Amino acid sequence: MTQVKCDLLIVGAGPAGMSAAIEARAAGLDVVVADEGNAPGGQIYRDAAQSPLADATVLGDDYLAGRALIERFAGSGAKHLARCVVWQVAFEDGRVIAMLTRKPHDERGGTLEVTARAVLIATGAQERPWPVQGWTLPGVMGIGAAQTLLKSSGLAPSQDAVLAGSGPLLWLFASQLLKARRRVCAIVDTTPSHAWRTALPHALPALAGADYLLKGVRMMRAVKQAGTPIHRGACAFSIEGDGRAESVRFVDASGAQHVIRTSLVLLHQGVIPSTQLPRSLGCEHEWDAPSACWRPRTDARGRSSVERVWIAGDGAGIGGAIAAMHAGTLAALDIARELGALDAATRDARNRPAVRAMKRHLAVRPLLDALYTPPAALRRPADGVIVCRCEEVSAGEIRGIAALGCQGPNQMKAFSRCGMGPCQGRWCGTTVSELIAQVQQRSVGDVGYYRIRAPIKPVTIDEIADSIALDDDFTRGEFPS
């Protein structure tokens, strides 16, 4: 096992993590950035520095803008650990101790122990699970996963792909495919027809982020002008097929029923904060009703409820890449102040530009939340739909156990194994909480979430064993001993 010491450990090399590393290094801190990707950038700027696409402009100006941030990060002097899975973070004598496994194993890989004075969690967001009939069939995946393939490998989906769901990424990916000269079979938009009326009160404040809104309008117009069939206000959506996806069935806003033949269905219902790591550290979380997701409790500088732990970027609340970048800057400045590298006056002076920029970029979020947060009917599936993909537990089983008086997701886990698979609840946790709340007529915040324990990512016994320091007089016993 290799041991590394630093002032600040940053988990995640997306916009928030890179910006924080740049600012922390400028303040004189020794910084280590651990990330699962092959190169810095996170999901939004994945492989932006060296895209496999012959023409990366198809991904848009916002994607290409990430190259400047990546270059600044590369020149910051922060130690970047690529292909690293952080599977445990603990505290000892006021220090943060993290266990990482670097993959693939080579002379630079294996298990690492990083000891730091503070940790910044910048793990970003994950796609919101959308359990529908047939979502476990081969030929069904998330739009975010499909976009990852396009960015990292230059692989575009087949010409008969149906994009279904709601949210900005739905339209962004469709427009990127069209720029790449790929055809989209159809877009099935589940945004309720009344959502615009709900969002209207937020329209005036959102004008502070008018450039963001104009980008969205242009994307929608481009998709429409390309002749892509668009079915709005869709409901009763399901995926059908014998052994793999063969068609989608839904009802549009007019009440007409549709069946579209397809071999590839790409689903999306927005993104939610990735909360596994901060939960494992005991950071307090709250249910964000307007966004219908869990988020950690943090102050304006990203400081969590746990000492020496900061959270920045979409992992603290969805705000987009630019807002995440400024959030990383604010967190790094606060950490530098906490560790004695800056005084309060210098921190506050450097804060001001980032605070102003964040306010402008977040102005549009209430409008987007009102418009694109899926209604309860889409978040709480019918009884026959699989919710926990790992253990194949259906919504009906969860509702049945909840009706018996099961008090929360942790007890549900014991009764049904829901959340005990390789994803460790990432793909079922939010839905399980909502289903229990629905049956018992409680608030989701009262129901709670899974208790997350290390290892927070799947690791082998060999990797765990490699992290254990052995005394010189250790002798291996026989099994059973």
Do residues 70 and 182 share a domain?
A: no
Answer yes or no: do 59 and 174 share one domain. Answer: no
How many CB atoms are closer than 10 A to CB 377?
12
Q: How many angstroms separate the most distant Cα atoms in the chain?
A: 76
pLDDT, residue 47, reads 94
Is there a single domain that holds both residue 112 and residue 208?
no
Q: Which residues of the chain have pLDDT under 50?
A: none
Total domains in the fold of the chain: 3
Task: Indicate whether 175 and 207 sit together in one domain.
Answer: yes
Task: Evaluate whether residue 10 is within a structural domain.
Answer: yes
Residue 64 has a pLDDT of: 93
pLDDT at 158: 85
Q: Is residue 98 part of a domain?
A: yes
Query: Model-level pTM?
Result: 0.94
Domain carrying residue 416: 380-447
On whether residue 46 sits in a domain, the answer given is: yes
347 within a domain of the structure (yes/no): no
Give yes or no: residues 172 and 115 share one domain: no
255 and 133, same structural domain?
A: yes
Instruction: Give the residue from 423, 449, 424 showing the smallest Cα distance to 436.
Output: 449
- Residue identified by tokens 């909502």 is 434
Same domain, 157 and 209: yes
State the pLDDT at residue 190. Answer: 98
Residues 375, 380, 385, 388: what is their CA dihedral angle, to the nearest 10 degrees?
120
Which of 342, 365, 397 is a domain's end point? 342
- What is the predicted pLDDT for the residue at 467? 76
Q: Are residues 7 and 56 located together in one domain of the fold?
A: yes
What residues pair up with 240 in beta bridges, in sequence order? Answer: 247
pLDDT at 37: 94
Q: Are 21 and 61 within one domain?
A: yes
Do residues 139 and 218 share a domain? yes
Residue pair 100/86 in contact (Cβ under 8 Å)? The answer is yes
Other CB atoms closer than 10 Å to residue 140's CB: what's the count?
Answer: 21
Query: Domain ends where: 213, 238, 269?
Result: 269
Same domain, 217 and 171: yes
Rg (C-alpha) for the chain, rounded Å, is 23
Domain boundary among 220, 250, 269: 269
Q: Are residues 138 and 250 in the same domain?
A: yes
CB 86 within 8 A of CB 34: yes
Residue 439 lies in a domain: yes
**Is residue 477 in some structural domain?**
no
The CATH number of the domain holding residue 105 is 3.50.50.60
Q: What pLDDT does residue 1 have?
A: 78
